[in-house]
C-alpha cells in the first residue's frame, strides 16, 4: 500500500470519527435546547433560534438562501447541518479520490461532485415540488378566495387556516399552504414566510399571490378584487402552464437518459465478459479514470437539467 493511499485512509478515518463526535454533540445540544424551551426560557426572536442569527451573521446571504430552500422543500434540516454534511461529503470524496485514483485532479473532481451532491438533490426536490404544484395552484387560489369571502374579507390568516382545514387540496399544495399558515401564525416574519411560499411554487403567479397577501397583512386592505383578477388571468393562461409543464417533463427525461445508457453499457459488458470488464474498469487505473470522467459528465448533466428547469419555471 502506497503512502498516499495510507494517508487518505487515515484522513477518512479521522473524518468518520469527527462526524460521529459532531452529530453526537449536536444531538445532546438539541436535547438540552428542548428542555430549555419546555422550561419556558426566552429566545432572542420569536420562531428563530439563536443559532439562526449566528449562522446568518457568519455566512450572510448563503445561509438565508439555504434556509429558504430547505423550508420551501419542507425538509427539517438546519442550514448549518446541511453545510456540515456537504463539507463532510466533500472531504470524504477527496479522501476516496486519493485512495482510488491517487491523483490530485481525480480527488478534487470527486470531492466537488460529492460536496455538491446534497445541493443538487435539494434543487431537484424543489423542481419536483414545483412541477407537482404547477397545475394545482389555480384551484388552491380559488378555494382560498372562497374562504376569504366567507371570513368577511378581513382576516387573511383565518382564511388560510380555513383553506388548510378544508383538506380539498392535493398533497403537495396542501403541504405548502399548511406551511404558510403555520409560519404566519408562529414566526411573526410575514415577508420571509411569503418569500418561501413563492419559492415553493416557483412561478410568477405565486409571486403575485404573495404580493397580494403581503398587502393584506401589512395594510389590512380588502384584496378580494385583486384575487378575483388574479384568478381570471390564471384561467386565461392555463393552457400555457400545461405546455410549460410538458417541456419540464421532457427536460427531466433527457436529463436521466445518459445515466440509463451508462448503466446499460456497463451491464452488457459485465454480462458478456465479467473478468475482462473487471480488469478494464476496476483494476486498470485508466478504466477507473474513464468511469470517473463519465460520472463527472453525468453530474454536469444534472446541473444543466436543474439550470434549465429553473429557466423554464
How would residue 255 be classed by pLDDT, with cut points 50, 70 and 90? confident
Residue 124: exposure state from Cβ atoms within 10 A (0-12, 13-18, ≥19) = middle
For residue 221, which phi and psi values (nearest 5 degrees)? -80, 160
How would residue 159 be classed by pLDDT, with cut points 50, 70 and 90? confident
Between the CA of residue 228 and those of 36, 41, 157, 234, 285, what are the distances in Å?
46, 45, 18, 10, 65
Residue 234 placed within a domain: yes
User: Residue 187: its pLDDT value, please?
Assistant: 64
Residue 269 placed within a domain: no
User: Residue 48: its pLDDT value, please?
Assistant: 45
Is residue 200 within 8 A of residue 129, CB to CB? The reply is: yes
> Does 150 score more than 60 pLDDT?
yes
Domain total in the chain: 1
Of 147, 306, 135, 117, the C-alpha closest to 234 is 135
- The whole-model pTM stands at 0.73
**Domain housing 238:** 131-244
> Does 194 score more than 60 pLDDT?
yes
Residue 178 placed within a domain: yes
Residue 177 placed within a domain: yes
> Does 54 score more than 60 pLDDT?
no
Residue 238 placed within a domain: yes
Of 151, 206, 155, 223, the C-alpha closest to 184 is 155
Amino acid at each position: 500500500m502506497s503512502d498516499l493511499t495510507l494517508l487518505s485512509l487515515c484522513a477518512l478515518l479521522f473524518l468518520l470519527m469527527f462526524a460521529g463526535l459532531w452529530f453526537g454533540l449536536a444531538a445532546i445540544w438539541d436535547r438540552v435546547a428542548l428542555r430549555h424551551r419546555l422550561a419556558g426560557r426566552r429566545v432572542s426572536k420569536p420562531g428563530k433560534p439563536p443559532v439562526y442569527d449566528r449562522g446568518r451573521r457568519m455566512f450572510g446571504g448563503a445561509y438565508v438562501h439555504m434556509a429558504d430552500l430547505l423550508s420551501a422543500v419542507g425538509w427539517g434540516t438546519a442550514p448549518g447541518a446541511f453545510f456540515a454534511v456537504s463539507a463532510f461529503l466533500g472531504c470524504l470524496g477527496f479522501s476516496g479520490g486519493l485512495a482510488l485514483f491517487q491523483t490530485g485532479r481525480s480527488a478534487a473532481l470527486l470531492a466537488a461532485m460529492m460536496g455538491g451532491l446534497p445541493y443538487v438533490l435539494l434543487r431537484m426536490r424543489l423542481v419536483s415540488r414545483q412541477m407537482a404544484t404547477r397545475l394545482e395552484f389555480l384551484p388552491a387560489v380559488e378555494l382560498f378566495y372562497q374562504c376569504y369571502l366567507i371570513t368577511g374579507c378581513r382576516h387573511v390568516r383565518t382564511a388560510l387556516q380555513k383553506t388548510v382545514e378544508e383538506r380539498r387540496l392535493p398533497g403537495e399544495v396542501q403541504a405548502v399552504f399548511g406551511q404558510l399558515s403555520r409560519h404566519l401564525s408562529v414566526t411573526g416574519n410575514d415577508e420571509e414566510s411569503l418569500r418561501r411560499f413563492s419559492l415553493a411554487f416557483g412561478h410568477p403567479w405565486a409571486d403575485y399571490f404573495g404580493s397580494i397577501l403581503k398587502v393584506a397583512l401589512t395594510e389590512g386592505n380588502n384584496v378580494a378584487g385583486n384575487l378575483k383578477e388574479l384568478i381570471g388571468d390564471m384561467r386565461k393562461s392555463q393552457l400555457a402552464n400545461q405546455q410549460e409543464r410538458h417541456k419540464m417533463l421532457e427536460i427531466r427525461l433527457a436529463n436521466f437518459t445518459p445515466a440509463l445508457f451508462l448503466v446499460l453499457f456497463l451491464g452488457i459488458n459485465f454480462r458478456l465478459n465479467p473478468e475482462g470488464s473487471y480488469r478494464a474498469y476496476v483494476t486498470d487505473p485508466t478504466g477507473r479514470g474513464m468511469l470517473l470522467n463519465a460520472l463527472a459528465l453525468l453530474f454536469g448533466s444534472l446541473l444543466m437539467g436543474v439550470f434549465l428547469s429553473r429557466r423554464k419555471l
